[in-house]
Structure 1
Amino acid sequence: MIYEMTYQVRVSNFNEGLKWYKSLLNKDPNFTPHEGFAEWELIPGCWLQVSEGAPSDGSGPLRLGVISIEDERDRMLQELNVKSFEIYSREEVPVKWATFNDPWGNRLGFFEYINEVEKNNRINSIVGSSLEV
């Protein structure tokens, strides 16, 4: 039985990486057990770890569900100087998505449910509260 998960990205400059990921996630880490390592619980049981080290080629992307992908794109371009952020969709896929790189080459992204009722139902089932639709 799987009940929890972690996903780790590595950054060559931990202090810059910590600052960048704090801005990306809009919060301080939940856990910093030692120098060169920080961890955020994104939703219950899902942890993102940022560790000092050489980034892995070809890993990811880690895509995070968001309420408004357009708002997040604007924030990434302004606050984090993300160079490329194109939003994609396909008729048969219930989400729109985007992938971008952090400054160390780790592949990240966002996705947003297109149907507002479905989005609200997913949020409610995971987080336990609803949005006004």
Structure 2
Amino acid sequence: MIFEMTYQVRVTDFEEGLRWYKNLLNKEPDFTPHSGFAEWELIPGAWLQVAEGKPAEGCGPLRLGVRSLEGERSRLVRELDVELFEIYEREEVPVKWATFSDPWGNEIGFFEYIDEREMHKRITAILGSKK
């Protein structure tokens, strides 16, 4: 039985990586057990780890669900100097999505439910009544 998950990205400059991911996630790490390592619980049981080291090639993207893909894209371009990235959608897919890279080449992405009722249903199922 799987009950929890972690996903790790590596950065060559940990202090800069820590700053970048704090800004990306809009929060401080939930767990920093030692130097060169930080961890955020994104939703209950799902953790993102940032570790000092050589980034793995060909991994990802880690895609995160957001309420407004366009809003997050604007924020990342403005606050983190992320290069403007394209947003995709297909008629048969219930979400729109996009992929971008952190400064170390780790691929990250966002997705947003097209049907707002479905998005709220998923948020409630995962997080309860939190907004």
Give the TM-score taking structure 2 as reference length.
Answer: 0.98
Partner residue in 1 for 2:56: 56
Partner residue in 2 for 1:71: 71
Q: Is the 8 A contact 1:87 1:96 kept in 2?
A: yes
Gaps of 5+ in 1: none
Gaps of 5+ in 2: none
How far does the alpha carbon of each residue in 1:79-128 deviate from its partner, in whole angstroms, 9 at most, with x for none? 01011411000000000000000000000000000001100000000000
For 2:81, what is the secondary structure of its paired residue?
coil
How far does the alpha carbon of each residue in 1:47-78 deviate from its partner, in whole angstroms, 9 at most, with x for none? 00000000000000000000000000000100
Q: Is the 8 A contact 2:73 2:84 kept in 1?
A: no
Confirm or deny that 1:32 pairs with 2:32: yes
Partner residue in 1 for 2:97: 97
Q: Is the 8 A contact 1:121 1:130 kept in 2?
A: no
Offset, 1:129: 1.3
**Letter in structure 1 aligned against 2:16:** E
For 1:86, what is the secondary structure of its paired residue?
coil
Identity %, equivalent residues: 70
Partner residue in 2 for 1:17: 17
State the superposition RMSD in angstroms.
0.8
Runs of 4+ in 1 over 3 A off after TM superposition: none
Q: Separation in 2 of the partners of 1:34 and 1:121?
A: 38
State which drifts further: 5-14 or 76-85.
76-85
Give the TM-score taking structure 1 as reference length.
Answer: 0.97
